[in-house]
């Protein structure tokens, strides 16, 4: 799960990371009021969307008067911001963050990520702040400092000092840098984050180390431990298909093809999509119903997959270990009866209670295409979809 910049800044500042003073606004009037409250002469108005690259896309504006704040807000509220990270459809702007502007002396890149090969949190820093990390690693790879943290002891002071020295930071700022790094590391660990990125971390004209931008992502599987973080979820920033599925406890991935896939387990989903491609088709999406799916859950999955207008055929591929084929079959039958689906539906079941499952499908009287092996299922799904397309007649029951 991702959160907004202002939310990440609040979390990080609770862990001792210094941030500029700022306040949130939901309207241009409120933004102007916030600026007056903050005082000073210059403010930065920042569109709050779950994406970086806002600066270049017009989502970050320096303002010196109330009029400029209104103007900046008019260009943001209710509009979509398209950056290189949002995709062409962009992300809606419904909140802006108003901050006191600071004079920047130096910009530093700071990121904390999970490094899979060392199985450690890795701190990545560069003296080339303000640029995206991808560009830094392409253009100035020698500027990147990497340091992995031993989880048993956490980020040690000497290690944080080494990073500060490697960045060529003025020794007078070392203590502030150590505090920032340790704060970020503790926030990462204690909140079950998967990513913390501060780009840029700046040294101001009056020698303060400040997080000018902040991004945090969290491990969805650990959110149950952090109700206060779960509450920060903003659905206006998510793919509606995926958030609808998440609300129902299902994981859904939208793709571009025409065959909807209902599977259990990510590995089986991958194999199913590969096999569909091998058979000459393209998956429209995949929906993982997980283990122990009740008939109701399967029916819900069907509704979700069918709400995707790209879908022209459905392939259900279940290997029941914890699941039960008879429950899955009941769910399929329930959904087909309820939804009056007029497209080919192919079902392949294997594992626990497979005979009962097959019987339920066969006795339902519904035009369900059954298959035994995965390749057979994929070929039937692709074949039925093609047939539907070319003849515009419905392919129906195979006993
Ligand atoms: P991003 O483009 O989405 O990563 O948004 P950022 O929060 O990083 O803002 C983009 C750029 O705006 C930063 O890299 C800074 O150069 C600039 N910026 C943001 N806040 C300030 C500020 O208070 N003072 C100055 N001078 N520049 C700022
Ligand atoms: Mn940034």
What is the number of the ligand 1 atom nearest to the C-alpha of 5?
7
- The tens digit of pLDDT for each residue in 7-43 reads 999 999 999 999 999 999 999 999 999 999 999 999 9
CA nearest ligand 1 atom 8, residue: 213
- The tens digit of pLDDT for each residue in 351-360 reads 999 999 999 9
252 is catalytic: no
CA nearest ligand 1 atom 21, residue: 101
* Distance from the alpha carbon of residue 253 to the mean position of ligand 2, in angstroms: 28
- Under the banding of pLDDT at 50, 70 and 90, the label for residue 391 is low
The pLDDT of residue 218: 97
Task: Compute the average pLDDT of residues 326-341.
Answer: 88
**Helix crossing, 325-339 with 295-306: angle to 10°?**
50
Ligand nearest to the CA of 212: 1
* Distance from the alpha carbon of residue 141 to the mean position of ligand 1, in angstroms: 22
Task: Compute the average pLDDT of residues 58-85.
Answer: 95
Mean pLDDT of the residues in the chain: 92
- Ligand 1: residue of 6, 44, 197, 205 to mutate (most ligand atoms within 8 A of CB) is 44
CATH of domain 21-101: 3.30.1490.20
Q: Where would I find the beta strands (DSSP E) of the chain?
A: 22-25, 43-47, 60-63, 80-81, 91-92, 96-100, 104-115, 120-126, 144-149, 193-204, 209-211, 215-218, 251-254, 259-263, 283-288, 313-320, 345-351, 368-371
What is the number of the ligand 1 atom nearest to the C-alpha of 46?
7
Q: Could you give the percent of the chain with pLDDT greater than 90? A: 75
- The tens digit of pLDDT for each residue in 89-141 reads 899 999 999 999 999 999 999 999 999 999 999 999 999 988 888 899 999 99
- Under the banding of pLDDT at 50, 70 and 90, the label for residue 289 is confident
- Under the banding of pLDDT at 50, 70 and 90, the label for residue 274 is very high
Q: Measured between alpha carbons, how far is residue 48 from residues 89, 97, 226 in Å?
A: 16, 7, 22
**Are both 21-101 and 240-390 of the same fold?**
no
Task: Compute the average pLDDT of residues 329-349.
Answer: 90
The pLDDT of residue 393: 46
The pLDDT of residue 317: 95
- Under the banding of pLDDT at 50, 70 and 90, the label for residue 320 is confident
Domain definitions of the chain by residue range: 1-19+103-238, 21-101, 240-390
The pLDDT of residue 349: 95
The pLDDT of residue 310: 87
Task: Compute the average pLDDT of residues 187-200.
Answer: 97
| pLDDT for residue 304 is more than 60 | yes
Task: Compute the average pLDDT of residues 299-321.
Answer: 89
- Under the banding of pLDDT at 50, 70 and 90, the label for residue 398 is very low
The active-site residue out of 6, 99, 107, 109 is 109
Using DSSP's 3-state secondary structure scheme, residue 301 falls into helix
Tell me the C-alpha distance between 113 and 125, whole Å.
11
| pLDDT for residue 292 is more than 80 | no
Nearest to 113 by CA among 206, 6, 199: 199
CA nearest ligand 1 atom 16, residue: 130
| pLDDT for residue 323 is more than 80 | yes
- Under the banding of pLDDT at 50, 70 and 90, the label for residue 270 is very high
CATH superfamily of 240-390: Succinyl-CoA synthetase domains (3.40.50.261)
CA nearest ligand 1 atom 19, residue: 212
Nearest to 198 by CA among 98, 123, 138, 101: 123
The active-site residue out of 99, 107, 197, 379 is 197
* Distance from the alpha carbon of residue 212 to the mean position of ligand 1, in angstroms: 6
- The tens digit of pLDDT for each residue in 136-182 reads 999 999 999 999 999 999 999 999 999 999 999 999 999 999 999 99
CATH superfamily of 1-19+103-238: ATP-grasp fold, B domain (3.30.470.20)
- The tens digit of pLDDT for each residue in 243-260 reads 888 777 788 888 889 999
Ligand 1 lining (C-beta closer than 6 Å): 44, 46, 52-55, 60, 101-102, 104, 130, 199-200, 212-213
| pLDDT for residue 399 is more than 50 | no
CA 36 to chain centroid: 35
Nearest to 156 by CA among 181, 120, 126: 181
256 is catalytic: no
* Distance from the alpha carbon of residue 105 to the mean position of ligand 1, in angstroms: 13
| pLDDT for residue 392 is more than 70 | no
Nearest to 381 by CA among 277, 251, 256, 255: 277
Q: Could you give the percent of the chain with pLDDT greater than 70? A: 97
* Distance from the alpha carbon of residue 353 to the mean position of ligand 1, in angstroms: 59
């Amino acid at each position: 799960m991702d959160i907004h910049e202002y939310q990440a800044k609040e979390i990080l500042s609770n862990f001792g990371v210094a941030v500029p003073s700022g306040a949130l606004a939901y309207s241009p009037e409120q933004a102007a009021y916030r600026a007056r409250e903050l005082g000073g002469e210059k403010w930065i108005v920042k569109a709050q969307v779950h994406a970086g690259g806002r600066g270049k896309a017009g989502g970050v504006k320096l303002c010196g008067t109330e009029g400029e704040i209104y103007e900046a807000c008019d260009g943001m509220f209710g509009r979509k911001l398209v950056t290189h990270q949002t995709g062409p459809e962009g992300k809606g702007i419904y909140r802006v963050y108003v901050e006191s502007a600071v004079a920047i002396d130096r910009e530093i890149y700071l990121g904390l990520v999970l490094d899979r090969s060392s199985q450690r949190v890795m701190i990545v820093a560069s003296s080339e702040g303000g640029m995206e990390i991808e560009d830094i690693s392409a253009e100035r790879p020698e500027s990147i400092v990497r340091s992995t943290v031993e989880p048993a002891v956490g980020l040690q002071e000497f290690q944080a000092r080494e990073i500060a020295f490697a960045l060529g930071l003025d020794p007078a700022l070392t203590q502030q840098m150590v505090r920032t790094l340790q704060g970020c590391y503790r926030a990462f660990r204690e909140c079950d984050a998967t990513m913390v990125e501060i780009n840029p971390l700046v040294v101001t004209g009056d020698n303060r180390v400040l997080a000018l931008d902040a991004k945090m992502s969290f491990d969805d599987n650990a959110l149950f431990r952090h109700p206060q973080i779960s509450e920060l979820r903003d659905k206006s920033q998510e793919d509606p298909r995926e958030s609808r599925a998440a609300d129902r406890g299902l994981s859904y991935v939208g793709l571009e093809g025409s065959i909807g896939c209902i599977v259990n387990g990510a590995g089986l989903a991958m194999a199913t999509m590969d096999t569909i491609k091998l058979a000459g088709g393209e998956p429209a999406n995949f929906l993982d119903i997980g283990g122990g799916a009740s008939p109701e859950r399967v029916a819900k999955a069907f509704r979700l997959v069918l709400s995707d207008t790209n879908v022209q055929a459905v392939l259900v591929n279940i290997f029941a270990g914890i699941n039960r084929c008879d429950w899955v079959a009941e769910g399929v039958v329930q959904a087909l009866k309820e939804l009056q689906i007029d497209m080919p539906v192919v079902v392949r079941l294997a594992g626990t209670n497979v005979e009962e499952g097959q019987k339920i499908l066969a006795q339902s009287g519904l035009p369900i295409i059954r298959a035994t092996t995965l390749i057979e299922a994929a070929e039937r799904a692709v074949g039925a979809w093609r047939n539907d397309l070319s003849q515009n007649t419905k392919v129906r029951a195979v006993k």
